[in-house]
């Protein structure tokens, strides 16, 4: 199986490395930065154009920022789809609006190309160690066929329905993560303002009902003042914009999502867009003039 992979950013680069480690050694890659292409070449990947990827690859995979980029790469002038052969497969691992996923799938179907949408959760750390969670939409038999490929990058691969279901599930995931981070920020701010050590609060409650993967990952970062991005605020803003658009389309009430989106937008407007989404805590630090845990 020859694989094409487009999008070699904070997530895509380690995902390609894990694909190769998993035994898929015939991999063509396309990205913007020569240093990344050189690094992946050392692992066995080969740089290629859109045309080369479309013409030569049995499966094309993308890990791109948002819907416009996926549409441009696949369906734009000289896009990959114009070179793909009938019977090949497109797996989009980007987090985009599910409406856009269905639009791309329909356009590819006209060429005899199948599509799976398979967005991920876990951020850079899990992309590096190959333990991402995949939320997948596509035909059951197609998902089953390509599950071993996805499992080279992830610890969990769950089919959620047809094309678009993967990204709908990812939007639900991003709502829960964002609201958890906001609640955690408020809770640790309360502890600090009340004179209780946030670290001890974290240790006391992490094993109870309030405990979560989000808390375990983000509370230490808030307490240390570490805002190095594993998942950037600007990317979470993008995801929540898609969630709000989708919710408005289907008539789902999402007031908590709208509130946390406003906090993230405030962070973006105050030079926080490239920080980790746990930096939402800095919004509360600004309001209270305290530093959580410090």
Catalytic residues, by residue number, are 170
Beta bridge partners of 121: 133
**How far is the C-alpha of 17 from the C-alpha of 22, rounded, in Å?**
9
Number of other residues whose CB lies within 10 A of the CB of residue 11: 26
3-class secondary structure, 130? coil
1, HSE (Cβ side, Cα atoms, 13 Å): 18
Whether the Cβ atoms of residue 202 and residue 215 lie closer than 8 Å to each other: yes
DSSP tag of 116: E
- Name the token pair of 158: 């769950």
β-strand pairing of 59-62 with 3-6: parallel
C-alpha pair distances (Å), 158 with each of 19, 114, 130: 18, 18, 16
Listing DSSP states for 151-166 in one string gives HTTEEEEEEEESTTHH
DSSP tag of 209: T
């Amino acid at each position: 199986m020859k694989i094409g992979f487009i999008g070699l950013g904070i997530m895509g680069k380690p995902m390609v490395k894990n694909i190769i480690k998993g035994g898929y050694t015939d991999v063509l890659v396309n990205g913007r930065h020569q240093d990344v292409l050189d690094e992946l070449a050392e692992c066995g990947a080969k740089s290629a154009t859109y045309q080369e990827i479309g013409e030569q690859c049995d499966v094309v995979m993308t890990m791109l920022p948002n819907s416009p980029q996926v549409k441009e790469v696949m369906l734009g002038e000289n896009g990959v789809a114009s070179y793909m052969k009938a019977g090949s497969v497109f797996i989009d691992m980007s987090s985009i609006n599910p409406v856009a996923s269905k639009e791309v799938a329909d356009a590819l179907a006209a060429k005899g190309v199948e599509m799976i949408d398979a967005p991920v959760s876990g951020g850079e750390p899990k992309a590096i160690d190959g333990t991402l969670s995949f939320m997948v939409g596509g035909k059951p038999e197609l998902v089953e066929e390509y599950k071993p490929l996805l499992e080279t990058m992830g610890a969990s691969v769950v089919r959620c329905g047809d094309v678009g279901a993967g990204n709908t599930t990812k939007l639900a995931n991003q709502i829960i993560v964002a609201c958890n981070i906001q609640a955690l920020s408020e809770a640790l701010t309360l502890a600090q303002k009340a004179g209780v050590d946030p670290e001890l609060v974290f240790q006391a409650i992490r094993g109870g009902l309030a405990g979560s993967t989000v808390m375990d990952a983000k509370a230490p970062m808030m307490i240390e003042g570490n805002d190095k991005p594993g998942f950037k605020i600007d990317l979470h803003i993008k995801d929540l914009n898609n969630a709000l658009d989708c919710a408005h389309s289907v008539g789902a009430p999402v007031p908590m999502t709208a509130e946390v989106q406003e906090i993230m937008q405030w962070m973006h407007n105050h030079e926080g867009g490239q920080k980790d989404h746990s930096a939402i805590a800095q919004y509360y630090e600004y309001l209270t003039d305290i530093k959580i845990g410090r």
